[in-house]
Structure 1
Amino acid sequence: HFLRGYYYFKLWDYFGGVPIYDKPMNVDEAYKPRATNGEVYAFIVNDMTEAYALLEGSYSGSDAGRATKWAALAMRGKAHLWAKEYEKAAADFRELMEKSDRVLLDDYHTLFRVAGNNNSEVIFDVQYVAEKGYGIATDRNYGNAMGATSGSQRTRPTPELVNAYEMADGTPFDFSNFTNADGDPFNPDNPADWNDEASVRALFANRDPRLQQAIVVPWSTFVGRGGAEYLYRFPVVTTDPTSYVPVWTNGSYAWRKFVETGSVYTLQDNMPQNFPLIRLADVILMYAEAQNEALGAPDQSVYDAVNAVRNRAGMPDLPTGLSKGQMQERIRHERMVELCGEGQRYSDIRRWGIAKDVVDGVWMTEFTGVQIRQRGFPDHYYLWPIPQSEKDVNPNLDQNPGWE
């Protein structure tokens, strides 16, 4: 029940309504039309309710990593949240927070290293081992060129993410509060302003501790192959390749999150690092979101939830007296920085209906400021197209609007 419900949730998230198959079918029965959104939602809730009743609260030994009743409860709450059934979602998340054995890990960075596998915060993850075909390729996809397996940095933190991290005192980061080498306001769009080491270092000092626990920023260090410490000199554009040691030479920022240091693991694409699909901080923030949406104004439990995640990271409490809308923005911001790189943001901005605002009109540029191409997010991008290969197999599948 759990795995079926989990995969139906992913299909529902990306495609909307899909055919429901709850038992083996013969050929004549297989060509079902798409169920409605409401029918798929109800099916997921039913599967997770069944799983909750059947599964144990924890497993150990060779069974570690199996889905638990708490994973089922988290997914049921998540389905309620996606369906905007906020009171039901809050109730499920509250039960998990009060009754499960899951607690926030003290050290944020350890969550995303091999040393943090099977930690107290993880509710459900994908388990990996350092054997060919059974590991995860975070070393290549997240890792930088100076890592033990020469990562390709296929995914990189965006400037939008880096700029979202607050100052250590909880105030927003703003380039206008910083100066360049000439004492003028720092202009992030002027490549010359990035040439002064002291000015650049100041941008990343006294920020939310999660910034440098998740991201390698200019002029910070990274322990790479052979246990050597590499300094990320900046900018990376230079005619003398011996004048700097790059962490990666194709972007301003690199991931520290999910990247192992040193050369303990050298089998490329096969890191023994578990990847979290559900963890307690995610559930706590989803509870805060659901409870805030269910009420006319945030109650103390909403503040307590968000502050628990912030305080674990070393950040101060939210200011009091926030309106429902202001708290909504704070929760969305917290999810962006807390869960970065974990595959949550794309679904979040789509379910909130803000993907067009976030993505539309964003220019892809070179460091020199030359605009290469513009990204767009038309309305029909909120749902993926039904693959033609699936329509070829089942002619009763209607295509999502805008993808015909």
Structure 2
Amino acid sequence: MKALKISILGAGLLSLISCNEFLDRYPYSENSSSTMFSSATLAESVVTGGYSNLLYDYNSTDRSVLNWDSFSSVMDPQEGIVNLDYNYLFGTLQPNNSMFQTYWKRFYEGINRANDVIENIGRVPDMSDATKAKRIAECKFLRAYHYYRLNALWRGVPYYDRNLAPDEYRLGRSSEEEIWRLVVKDCTDCIDCSEIPDRYVSGNADYGRVTRGAAYALRGKAYMWLKQYDLAEADFGKVGECGYDLYTGSYESLFTETNEKCEEMVFSVQMVEEEGQGNAFSNNYGNYCTVGYGKYQHYLNVNFIDSFEEVDGKPFSWDDYFPGYSSMTPEARSVYFLRNGLTDTEKTAMSTYGADMSKYDALGNEVRLRAAYENRDPRLAAIAITPYSTYDGGASGTVVTYTSRYPYRDWQAPSLDLRYGNNAYMLYPIRKFVTKGREYTNIGYNPVDVPIIRYADVLLSQAEAVNEQGRWQEAVSYVNRVRNRAGVALLNAPGNTNTKVSGVEEMRARIRNEKKWELACEEQLYFEELRWGTWKTDKFVAKNGLQNVWGAPVYTYIWGGDAYLKWAIPQSEVEKNTNIKQNEGWN
């Protein structure tokens, strides 16, 4: 669907003419609607505008667009923006915070665009009935997707399945369960539409549009929130029957333009290398050495990095590499992360900081540290730039290989140290989705599609659905398919005590860890941690927050109370519509 990708911005603008501006936007114009649905060409642009709303989370270099994984336990915002944009993590938000209003409007805008098509496309004179049915089904999926995200955050919202005049938006909140049921209904209508294909293959002109496999996956996710695990299991099984499967190459090569349309991508946001149309992850995740000078807005969480197992499935422990490590202060054990050949000035500075310099090896410090990362789950190296690993950057105009070292000296020759934000710290920069060398030269955007639903996620969700029904032995087989592709030891492999698992509780923990290792940086995990009920524990454990790689905090999160488990209804919406009741704890 490259044609859709190229035209998506213009189509979005066209669709705004015909869309009812929700709540405080311009009222729906019957005249403009007559125009936009007067021909198939114009009507298709409105449909394309519905798809364009999906771009919002992935194509902006504006900090006001939040990164959902920085709300999860796998990632942390950099210290320069956390107090500006992520103060939800410090317990200081009020219901009038712009974050709540921005995303309330953003999701309802997607619903508004979908409703516009569902209501009006039936009267397009030069469009076949089959195409009309197909577009309506696609937009029901898009509406379901936006209600899915609204409901995950707010747990019950007003439900509108048609567009109204601004003063008519006065419904109260449907319950959380009611919204999940309505998500299920829209997905079911999409599945039942005979014009919706099971799957599009790469090269098809309609690639990127909604498929039956995507609708099964989204409906299965709604059933998981409802804890109807048998129905979720059935739906996740149907996704495979639609022709989706795991990509058979390496995990690292999965997130490339070459493989962006492989059999694993159930539903993805289509990208091109131009402003407003491309994947901004490279810019926002990237480091200073990334082409265009990445903004290094997010880093990987130290506890998440330490959770990655050894290749043989053994839990990772720093004490296996540096005996006594866990009993040392973070400052003392920083010695193990120092570069070879420190100057006298650097030695003095580190000694003053608290490093136990008696353990410093001037010639072999880097080699012994690299050993702690080299035998780990290969997904770690694909996701993170670990200490003393290399990264090919292109910010200088040519491809240059940089190395992550500490203390930082200079990103230019002869040092060629990896430069990111504040190099006074040693952190875990992101590698996944970040441009390598000069493969893409657009300053802020690259053309790699962003997956919203991947088949690996479907398999792990199927494992969870099966496990929650008590069939943990069967769940092992689904997880092992993902682990096999990753290149790590299989669960319950004969003779391997490291991967032994027995019972539902152990399997539940395994599945949740596997999802984090597999889906990091794809902006899905915050919603999973909310559903699991683990977000408070996972994100706000003692001393959790952005840390140096040796565990010394840069900043620490502060739990704001159980009200934070649900988002606040925007205060302006409560004031405009007295039928909306605020979530508990936000009054």
TM-score with structure 1 setting the length: 0.92
Q: Aligned equivalents of 2:410 and 2:399: distance in 1?
A: 24
1:292 maps to which of 441, 445, 467:
467
- Cα 1:178–1:45 change in 2 (3 A) is same
For structure 1, list consecutive stretches of 5 or more residues without a partner in the other structure: none
Match in the other structure for 1:163: 306
Q: 1:24 to 1:224 in 2, by over 3 A?
A: same
Match of 2:399 among 208, 212, 228: 228
Match 2:242 to one of 100, 105, 113: 100
1:321-360 to 2 correspondence within 5 Å?
Answer: 322-360=502-540
Q: Verify the 8 A CA contact 1:57 1:100 in the aligned structure 2.
A: yes
| Structure 2 partner of 1:38 | 177
Instruction: Answer yes or no: is 1:307 the counterpart of 2:480.
Output: yes
- The answer on whether the counterparts of 2:411 and 2:418 sit within 8 Å (CA) in structure 1 is no
Distance 2:564 2:303 in 1: 21
Q: Distance in 1 between matches of 2:554 and 2:436?
A: 35
From 452, 468, 471, the equivalent of 1:277 is 452
Code of the residue aligned with 1:111 in structure 2: it is L
| 1:314-334 per-position Cα deviation (integer Å, ceiling 9, x unaligned) | 111112551110000100110
1:72 counterpart SS class: helix
Aligned residue number for residue 14 of structure 1: 153
The answer to whether the 8 Å contact 1:108/1:213 transfers is: yes
Q: 1:188-215, CA deviations, whole angstroms, 9 ceiling, x for partnerless residues?
A: 8232221121232121011001110111
Q: Distance in 1 between matches of 2:560 and 2:480?
A: 33
**Would the alpha carbon gap of residues 363 and 214 (structure 1) be closer, same or farther in structure 2, given more than 3 Å must change?**
closer
* Deviation string, structure 1 residues 348-404 (Cα, Å, up to 9, x no partner): 222111112112233446649366444325211111111123224323211111111
Residues 311, 317 of structure 1: 8 Å contact kept: yes
2:582 to 391, 399, 402: 399
Picking from 380, 395, 401, the partner of 1:211 is: 380
Distance change in 2, residues 1:112/1:321 (3 Å): closer
Q: Distance in 1 between matches of 2:259 and 2:488?
A: 21
Question: Aligned equivalents of 1:67 and 1:343: distance in 2?
Answer: 20
TM norm structure 2:
0.64
Structure 1 letter corresponding to 2:586: W
Alpha-carbon shift at residue 75 of structure 1 (Å): 0.2
CA contact (8 A) 1:114 1:260 kept: no
The answer to whether the Cα contact below 8 Å between 1:77 and 1:89 also exists between their aligned partners in 2 is yes
- Shift of residue 65 of structure 1? 0.5
Worse-matched range after superposition: 379-388 or 106-115: 106-115
What is the match of residue 153 of structure 1? 296
Q: 1 CA distance for matches of 2:206 and 2:277?
A: 17
**Paired residue secondary structure (2:573):** helix
- Cα distance in 2 between the residues matched to 1:128 and 1:365: 30
Q: Are the equivalent residues in 1 in contact too, given 2:391–2:418 (CA < 8 A)?
A: no
Which structure shows the higher helix fraction? 2
Q: CA deviation at 1:232?
A: 2.0
**CA shift digits 1:144-174 (9 cap, x unpaired):** 1111111011111111121111001011101
8 Å contact kept, 1:104–1:120: yes
Say whether the 8 Å CA contact 1:356–1:377 is kept in structure 2. no
| 1:50 partnered with 2:50 | no
Cα gap change, 1:197 to 1:327, in 2 (>3 Å):
same
Q: Which amino acid aligns with 2:151?
A: W
Q: 1:392 to 1:116 in 2, by over 3 A?
A: farther
TM-aligned CA deviation for residue 249 of structure 1: 4.5
1:193 aligns with 2:336: yes
Q: Does 1:79 align with 2:253?
A: no
- Whole-angstrom CA distance in 2 between matches of 1:373 and 1:96: 41
Give matches, 1:236-275, under 5 Å: 236-238=407-409, 243-250=415-422, 251-275=426-450
Q: Tell me which structure has the larger Cα radius of gyration.
A: 2
Compute the RMSD of aligned alpha carbons: 2.2
Distance 2:334 2:234 in 1: 50
Label 1:243 to 1:132 Cα distance change in 2 as closer, same or farther (>3 A): closer
Distance across 2 between alignment mates of 1:144 and 1:387: 34
> In the alignment, which residue of structure 1 is the partner of 2:86?
none
Q: Distance between the aligned counterparts of 1:279 and 1:365, measured in 2?
A: 28
Q: Separation in 1 of the partners of 2:234 and 2:310? A: 33
Q: How far 1:136 sits from its partner (Å)?
A: 1.9
1:316 and 2:485 equivalent? no
AA aligned to 2:367 is A
Q: In the alignment, residue 175 of structure 2 is paired with which amino acid?
A: T
5+ residue gaps, structure 2, are: 1-139, 339-364, 493-499
Cα pair distance change 1:357/1:75, threshold 3 Å:
same
Alpha-carbon distance in structure 1 between the residues aligned to 2:208 and 2:182: 24
Q: CA offset at residue 230 of structure 1? A: 2.0
Q: Distance in 2 between matches of 1:35 and 1:4?
A: 16
1:2 and 1:51 in contact (8 A); partners too = yes
Equivalent-residue separation in structure 2 for 1:4 and 1:240 (angstroms): 47
